[in-house]
Amino acid sequence: MPETAKPSVLFVCVHNAGRSQMAAAFLTHLAGDRVEVRSAGSAPADTVNPAVVEALAEVGIDISAEVPKVLTVEAVQASDVVITMGCGDTCPVFPGKRYLDWQLTDPAGQGVDAVRPIRDEIEQRIRALLDEVAPTART
């Protein structure tokens, strides 16, 4: 990746309704336009988990307009870093990409009280990731 290129990160989980949405929202919130952020699911849900929307709203991040997106080969090819969160072997692997697998509790079917610790762990991981992929982008 050229020194001047904007890093790109793709977050993938099964439904793209919880973990990957939270991770993408935090990275977008913290990095602004300095990092290209995508999220997708191998079997996208119809809507984002309402408890996830509420948990992020509590920390000032609005994802109420987000919708789950299907994982495409093109999204993986266009990303420098691909972070999976429980999607198993459904994510295509391409040479030259950095792959990370974050083991995180699935917020599906859980209330906001159960989602908060997941949200907080994702925020910590995003801050560490941001220091790696775009150290000057951290706010």
Dihedral (CA of 67, 68, 72, 78) sign: positive
Per the CB < 8 A criterion, the answer to whether 98 and 84 are in contact is no
17-72 per-position pLDDT tens digit:
999 999 999 999 999 999 999 999 988 999 999 999 999 999 999 999 999 999 99
What pLDDT is stored for residue 90 in this prediction?
A: 63
**Inter-CA distances, 92 with 71, 75, 87, Å:** 9, 10, 11
This prediction has a pTM of 0.91
Q: What is the DSSP letter of 137?
A: G
The answer to whether the beta carbons of residues 20 and 76 sit under 8 Å apart is no
pLDDT for the residue 2: 46
Specify whether the CB–CB gap between 52 and 25 falls below 8 A: no
DSSP H/E element including 106: none
d(CA 95, CA 77): 9
Question: What's residue 1's pLDDT?
Answer: 43
The predicted model gives 118-126 an average pLDDT of: 97
**Higher pLDDT pick, 7 / 4:** 7
Report, in angstroms and rounded to the nearest whole number, the Rg of the chain calculated over CA atoms. 14
Q: Which residues does the annotation mark as catalytic?
A: 13, 87, 91
* Residue-averaged pLDDT of the chain: 90
Give the confidence band of 135 by pLDDT, cuts at 50, 70, 90. Answer: confident
**pLDDT at residue 129 greater than cutoff 80:** yes
Q: How confident is the model at residue 93 (pLDDT cuts 50, 70, 90)?
A: confident
